[in-house]
Amino acid sequence: MRDPFTRLTRRQRWHSCAWRLRRRLSAPTRPAPAPSPGTPPHLLLVGVDTLRADHLGCHGWGRPTSPRLDALAAGGTRFADVMAPAPWTLPSFAGALTALAPGLHGAYLGGDVRNMDKQAPGRLRPGVVTLAAHLRAQGYLTAAFYANQFFGFGLAESFETHAYHNLPADDMLTMAHDWLRRHADRPCFCFVLVNDPHEPTTPPWEDLAPFLPTPAPTDAQLAELARWGGTVWPHLGRADAADAGDVQAALKVKLAIYDATIRQVDRAIGRLQDRLEAAALADRTLVSVFSDHGEEFLDHAAWAAQWDHDPRGLRGIGHGQSHFQELLHVPWVSWGPGVPKGVTVASPASLLDLAPTVLDWLGLPPLPPAARPADLPPELASALVGRSLAALAARPAPSAMEMPARVRLAEAIAYGPDLVAVRQGPWKLIAARDGRPLALFDLAADPGERHDAAATQPEALAALVAIIETWRASGAGACETAQGAEWGDLDGVVRERLRDMGYSE
C-alpha cells in the first residue's frame, strides 16, 4: 500500500512491529476477571493531542472524520462548548487532571517572552493532587500510556504504572485495553494519550486517500506537508500572503492530512469500544475522550501578522501561539456507567471540569480542596478551579439559564509574550497579561473571531479587563519572570522524544 510518509514513520513503524510481536507473546487470552460485588466502575480517559472540536462530525464538520466517535457521543454525553485552559499540551492536560488552571498547578513556561523551542517548562507544583493520585487513594489501580513526552513532566509520575511509547493510536488504545483486561477484578483508572493529529501528521494511506483533493499530490508533496512545507510547497507559517494561490493549494492538502489523522484516531477509538464489548468490559467502564488543544491552519494569519509576537517568526500555524477558538475550543465526549445517554450540554464548560465530573459519575469523593489564593471572587474562582458538570448533564434542557455568566480563562502560551483570554457570556477578550486589550469578540455574532468589537462595546470590554486585573492581583495571575530550564539541561532521552515531535532544537 502506498505510504508517502515512509521516511518520517520508519522509527514508529519499527517500534510498532516490535510491540505487536511482544503482544502476541503476552496478550491476555483468558476472559477478563470478574470484579467483586460493589466494585466501582473502571475509568478510561483517552486524550487526543491537537484535536480541534470543529473538525468532528458531532460538532458540525462536513467531512467524515469521526463516524465512530459521533455515534458514541450520540449514545452518551457531549459537552458542546468546552474551553481549554491553555493552547498547548502540558498545561492543558495538567488542568484536566488536577482541575486547576496553569497559574495554580505550575506546569507551564515562565518568563516575559516564552519560546518552547529553546525553553523547557516547569513541572507540577509539590502538593498538587492529580486525578490518578486521588483514585489511588480510593483503591484504584492506575496506569498511563502516552505518546507525547510532555505528559512526563509531573503527570505520569502520579500513576503507579506509566510508560512513553512512540506508537500510533490503535496500538496505544490496544495497550490500554490489554492492561485493563488483565486487572479487571480491581477498579482501574487508565489514561492513554494518542498523538496522531500532532505534527508530524502521517496518517496511513487508507485514511488519507478519501480526503485528498484531485489531482492527488505527489508523495514528496505529501511528505513535506506532514509538517508545514518550505521546499516543494511554500512554508505555511512564513508566507507573505495567506490567500496566495500556492499557499491555499498547500493548505488544502494540509487540512486533508490533518482530517485523515482524525479518522485514524476515530477508527482506533471504535476498535477500542469493540474490544471492551467483546471482553464484557463496556458495561463497567466509563470512557471519556477529550483533547488538550486544537490546531491553527492560517485561521487568523492576518491577526498574527498584526501582532507579530511569535519569536519563531511563524504566523498563523500550529498551536501554543494564540488564544483563538481553533486552539481553545476542544471536544469532550463520555459514555458508560453513570453517564447520561443521548445528551448534549450547551452550557459553558472548561477542561478543568473533567476530573470533578467523572468523579461524580463514578460516585466517588471529589478531589481535595485546591490550594488557591484567598478572597477570590466566586466568578473568578470558578474560572480557575474546575467544578462537576454531572448535574447539568442530568438535566441539560434548562442549562442556558443555569450558568449564563460563568467566567472562563486561558493562559500560558508557549511562544511570545504571555497572553490571556477571558470569556463571559458571548464576549471573549484576548489581552496581554498586563491587561492591555488586543481584541474583543462577540462569539454569538462572530464565531470566527473576525471583527474586533472593542471600540463599539466599551462596557463589555471594561468588564473583561476588570476580570483580568482581579486575576493578575491574585496569586493565580502572578507573572513568573524566571526563565525555565534550557533543553540541554534535560535528560537526553526526553530531548530525543520531544525532537521527534519538532518541539526542541
Give pLDDT tens digits for 343-358: 999 999 999 999 999 9
Q: Is 263 helix (H, G, I), strand (E, B) or coil?
A: helix
Give the Cα separation of 235 and 215 in Å (integer): 21
| Grid cell digits, residue 369 | 480542596
Q: What is the DSSP code string of 423-460?
A: EETTEEEEEETTS-EEEEEETTT-TT--S--TTT-HHH
Check residue 118 and give its pLDDT.
86
CA distances from 87 to 182, 327, 420 (A): 36, 6, 10
pLDDT exceeds cutoff 90 at 156: yes
Check residue 505 and give its pLDDT.
46
Question: Phi first, then psi: what are they for 359, rounded to 5°?
Answer: -65, -40
Region of residue 433 (phi > 0: left; psi between -120 and 50: alpha; otherwise: beta) = alpha
Confidence band, pLDDT 50/70/90 cuts, at residue 481:
very low
Pairing of strands 42-48, 188-194: parallel
Check residue 35 and give its pLDDT.
72
Check residue 24 and give its pLDDT.
86
Region of residue 338 (phi > 0: left; psi between -120 and 50: alpha; otherwise: beta) = left
Highest mean pLDDT among 34-43, 226-235, 258-267, 405-414: 258-267
Task: Dump pLDDT digits (tens) for 204-240.
Answer: 999 999 999 998 899 999 999 999 999 999 999 998 8
The pTM of the full predicted model, rounded to 2 decimals, is 0.94
Check residue 399 and give its pLDDT.
46
Check residue 418 and give its pLDDT.
86
**Contact indicator for 309, 416 with CB cutoff of 8 Å:** yes
pLDDT exceeds cutoff 70 at 174: yes
Q: Would you list the domain boundaries of the chain?
A: 6-27+42-418+479-500
Give the Cα separation of 297 and 60 in Å (integer): 18
Confidence band, pLDDT 50/70/90 cuts, at residue 155:
very high
**Contact indicator for 268, 173 with CB cutoff of 8 Å:** yes
Confidence band, pLDDT 50/70/90 cuts, at residue 372:
low
Confidence band, pLDDT 50/70/90 cuts, at residue 478:
low
Least confident of 108-117, 335-344, 346-355: 108-117
Q: Is 118 helix (H, G, I), strand (E, B) or coil?
A: coil
pLDDT exceeds cutoff 70 at 371: no
Least confident of 21-30, 98-107, 470-479: 470-479
Can you say whether the dihedral through the CA atoms of 484, 489, 491, 494 is positive or negative?
A: positive
Least confident of 235-244, 292-301, 392-401: 392-401
The Cβ-side half-sphere exposure at 86, using a 13 Å CA radius, reads 29
CATH number for 6-27+42-418+479-500 (one of 3.40.50.1820, 3.90.1720.10, 3.30.260.10, 3.40.720.10): it is 3.40.720.10
Bridge partner list, 345:
79
pLDDT exceeds cutoff 50 at 200: yes
How big is the CA angle at 338 (ends 334 and 344), to the nearest 5 degrees?
45
Give the Cα separation of 346 and 59 in Å (integer): 12
Burial (CB count <10 Å: 0-12, 13-18, 19+), residue 455: exposed
Give the Cα separation of 487 and 146 in Å (integer): 20
Mean pLDDT of the chain: 90
